[in-house]
Amino acid sequence: MTSAPTPQPLVSILTPSFNQARWLEDNLRSVACQTYPRVEHIVMDGGSTDGSVAVLEAAGTAVRWRSEPDRGQSHALNKAFAESAGEIIGWINSDDAYFDPRVVEDVVRFFDRNPDVDVLYGHAASVNADGRILHYYWAPRFHVRLLRLYDYIVQPSVFCRRRALGDHLADESLGFAMDYELWLRLAERHRFARLDRVIAIDRVQPGERLPSVADFYRAGDA
């Protein structure tokens, strides 16, 4: 008697959002068009007033969402995580997107072939507000000492196994650099690996100021 095939793991994509209607549709489409069949997309909107709710309503059953006030991006992300059920977790903000339809399929295949890896990341393309590629973020192979000096992991390019995350993703005391704090926390106990391909589009909006290392430490001391 042949054994039944192992079910494909569910992948949960988490999206915190607030007043990003201009780019939200691209975000939703990039998840909905993935070739991997078992994906749930959960959007936690912070009570947007810019048309984001209409975009979410138009998405139909392709996305699960709520729109209500929250305490910021970290809180929204943790709410989305609590609603999710996937064995593999992706986090992609509402103004970002996946690079192509095979991203999730390639990520699941890598995890299947490397059962000891809990955190997977790849390269990313930096784009402007209109979607024009500015440059590529080439991510080096994982080295924990390098990570402690510089955050070279681009947030939307990351997928984690649920077993590594505990009961929350983000530290809600941080208003930014919550992704860097997560990488450092996970690196203490879990194995990271790089998938050598472009995974995500990371959007740089007009007037956006990237946080500095000094900002991160100030936030941690608050």
Q: What is the pTM of this model?
A: 0.89
What's the CA angle centered on 170, arms 143 and 7, to 5 degrees? 80
| C-alpha 56, offset from chain centre | 18
Query: At what angle are helices 178-187 and 73-83 packed, to 10 degrees?
Result: 50
Strand 159-161 and strand 119-127: the pairing is: antiparallel
State how far the Cα of 41 lies from the Cα of 61, in Å rounded to an integer: 10
Assess if residue 27 is contained within a domain: yes
Checking phi first, is residue 131 left (phi over 0); if not, alpha (psi -120 to 50) or beta? left
Assess if residue 1 is contained within a domain: no
Burial of 32: CB neighbours in 10 Å, binned 0-12, 13-18, 19+: middle
Assess if residue 3 is contained within a domain: no
What's the pLDDT at 68? Answer: 96
State how far the Cα of 147 lies from the Cα of 67, in Å rounded to an integer: 35
Domain with 42 in it: what CATH number?
Answer: 3.90.550.10
Assess if residue 5 is contained within a domain: no
**Domain limits for position 84:** 11-221
Phi, psi of 113 (to 5 degrees): -85, -10
Amino acid letter, residue 34: Q
Residue labelled with tokens 């941080």: 174
Assess if residue 2 is contained within a domain: no
Assess if residue 29 is contained within a domain: yes
Assess if residue 4 is contained within a domain: no
Structure tokens at 191: 């194995």
Average pLDDT per run of 10 along the chain, which is 222 residues long? 73 96 95 98 96 96 95 95 98 96 98 98 93 91 96 97 94 91 97 98 69 39 38
Q: Which of 19, 86, 76, 6 is nearest to 49 (CA)?
A: 19
Assess if residue 153 is contained within a domain: yes
State how far the Cα of 122 lies from the Cα of 120, in Å rounded to an integer: 7
- Number of structural domains (the chain) is 1
